[in-house]
Amino acid sequence: MSDIATTSASAFDAAADTYDEDLHHVEIAEELVRGLQPTSPPALVVDVATGTGFAAFAALRLLAAQRVVGVDISRGMLDRARAKAPHEDPHGRIEWRHAPAVPLDLATGSVDVVLCASALHLLGLDALREWLRVLRPGGQVAFSVPMAEDFHPSPEFRRMVESHLSVPSDADAAARIALDAGFAGVSAGILAPTSAERRRRVFIVRAQAPL
């Protein structure tokens, strides 16, 4: 694990107990999933940097996903997700993996949907190339990325942000992140928080792996 990844894992371990108190994370995860329209319940959804599992649980409720893999490098976050699972996932359809986001331990072309809420700016562009690898042709991806105007991280948090991924200032720039990585059918919109005290708008980007 790189020094940045180790720092990130430690930071999120420390934040795990209070992470669910920030309802903006819930809003982002729900919006990512709600905007997807698979033609049938996806056989496999991967929630990258799953945190405490908001998007993974939403994939069960809103997409009727048959199987979900939630991946995160923070053991503390995964412990919180597992604690919620008996209520949110009573049939045990989610597999929680303590693992890096790149590479994913999944076969090429085996995934129907990739989700990534509130983490791409910490993972960098290699993550998008990995999503393209694991997605089947026509598979869908949905991710969020901060809006530059509202992105004011602490010095400690900024050190975890990947320098080669620029935080976008408008929807066109957000969409280009996916387009430049090779995705098709890209759309991007703004999600303004309704529950957070401070303004933290984000871009919601959805796209497809080429057919």
> What is the per-residue pLDDT for 185?
96
**pTM (global) more than 0.75:** yes
> What is the per-residue pLDDT for 169?
93
Alpha-carbon distance of 196 to 192, in angstroms, equals 9
Percent of the chain with pLDDT over 90: 69
Alpha-carbon distance of 107 to 59, in angstroms, equals 20
> What is the per-residue pLDDT for 3?
41
> What is the per-residue pLDDT for 24?
78
β-bridge partners, 141: 114, 207
- Kindly tell me if the per-residue pLDDT of 162 is higher than 70: no
> What is the per-residue pLDDT for 43?
97
Average pLDDT over residues 106-128: 95
Q: Residue 106 carries which side chain, given as an amino acid letter?
A: L
> What is the per-residue pLDDT for 33?
95
Confidence of residue 84 (pLDDT cuts 50, 70, 90): very high
What's the token pair of residue 63?
A: 């997409």
pLDDT tens track for 24-40 = 788 899 999 999 988 89
> What is the per-residue pLDDT for 157?
55
- Kindly tell me if the per-residue pLDDT of 66 is higher than 50: yes
> What is the per-residue pLDDT for 19?
64
Alpha-carbon distance of 124 to 113, in angstroms, equals 19
Alpha-carbon distance of 12 to 33, in angstroms, equals 23
φ, ψ for residue 207 (rounded to 5)? -160, 175
β-pair type (202-208, 184-191) = antiparallel
Helix or strand holding residue 13 (H, E): helix 3-19
Alpha-carbon distance of 170 to 163, in angstroms, equals 18
Domains and CATH numbers, the chain: 3-208 (3.40.50.150)
> What is the per-residue pLDDT for 163?
58
What's the token pair of residue 165?
A: 């991924």
- Least Cα distance to 94 among 150, 145, 151, 54 occurs for 54
